[in-house]
Amino acid sequence: MALIPRSSRTLLRGLSRSSVPSNYSRTLSTSTTRWQASVYESPFKGQTTTTKIPDFSKYRASSSPNSNLVFQYFMVGTMGAITAAGAKATVQEYCANNQNYPDFLVNMSASADVLAMAKVEVDLAAIPEGKNVLIKWRGKPVFIRHRTQAEIEEAKSVDWEKLRDPQKDEDRATNPEWLVMLGVCTHLGCVPIGEAGDYGGWFCPCHGSHYDISGRIRKGPAPMNLEIPTYTFPQETSLVIG
The residues that bridge with 55 in the sheet, in sequence order, are none
Those residues whose C-beta lies under 8 Å from the C-beta of residue 186, and which sit 6 or more positions away, are 209, 217, 222, 223, 224, 225, 226, 227
**Yes or no: is domain 117-241 CATH 2.102.10.10?**
yes
Residue extents of the structural domains in the chain: 70-109, 117-241
The residues that bridge with 231 in the sheet, in sequence order, are 241
pLDDT in tens, 183-193: 999 999 999 99
Centroid of chain to Cα 232: 34
Coil, strand, or helix at residue 238? strand
H or E element: which one contains 122?
A: strand 120-123
pLDDT in tens, 85-109: 888 887 777 666 665 655 555 566 6
Residue 164, pLDDT > 50, answer yes
DSSP label of 43: T
Q: What's the start-to-end Cα distance of the chain, in Å?
A: 129
Q: Is the pTM of this model over 0.85?
A: no
Which of 146, 187, 207, 210 is catalytic? The answer is 207
Helices (H) and strands (E) in the chain, counts: 7, 10
Active site residue 207: yes
